Amino acid sequence: MLVGRSVNDGLTTTLEIEGAKAMWMQMGAPPMWHEHAPAKGERFHIEVKTTDNKTRTRLPYAIVTFNATNRDSGKVVSTILPPMWGSSGLHYSENSALGGDGSYAATVGVPSFTREVKDKGLWAKPAVFHFHLKLKGGLLTEVSEPTAAAN
């Protein structure tokens, strides 16, 4: 389910949350391909897609951070989302338990990265995107635009 779409510093970032699901990924040392089934308690699949507005391409090789604070319980979830490939193309995602029912303030951070010399100033600082959502009974029940006080 789409939580929101935000535009900042020439990038568009989409945040989606759906039911947790198995993923095929490299794990261990040395990394080997395995199915990673959702762990006990992981109810949600967090998915972030960031697109460069100028070229309309998804950002590869990024280290995308996801932080969510449950405003009711104070529980904080903070993670780095690994890159994934799926039916929606390149995205960054992970299964999570989040912090239970409540209202959340979530941020997605997309770091600066190397560009061609002519675009050297583009995204010199990381872009941050803000989202607000509410979980009730383990379901996403509300999404809303951030307020000035919440930023």
- β-pairing, 89-96 vs 83-86, is antiparallel
- Parts of the chain with a pLDDT under 70: 111-116, 119-125, 145-151
Closest-CA residue to 46 (of 76, 14, 17): 17
Structural domains of the chain sorted by starting position, each given as residue range(s) with its CATH number in brackets:
2-24+33-150 (2.60.40.2480)
| Structure token digits, residue 43 | 């109810």
- 118 CB neighbour count, 10 Å cutoff: 7
Cis before residue 60, ω within 30 degrees of 0?
no
Cβ contacts of 19 within 8 Å, gap of 6 or more:
43, 44, 45
Say how many residues make up the chain: 151
State residue 121's pLDDT score: 63
pLDDT in tens, 61-89: 788 889 999 988 999 999 888 888 888 88
End-to-end Cα spacing for the chain: 23
pTM score: 0.80
User: 60 — phi, psi (to 5°)?
Assistant: -90, 165
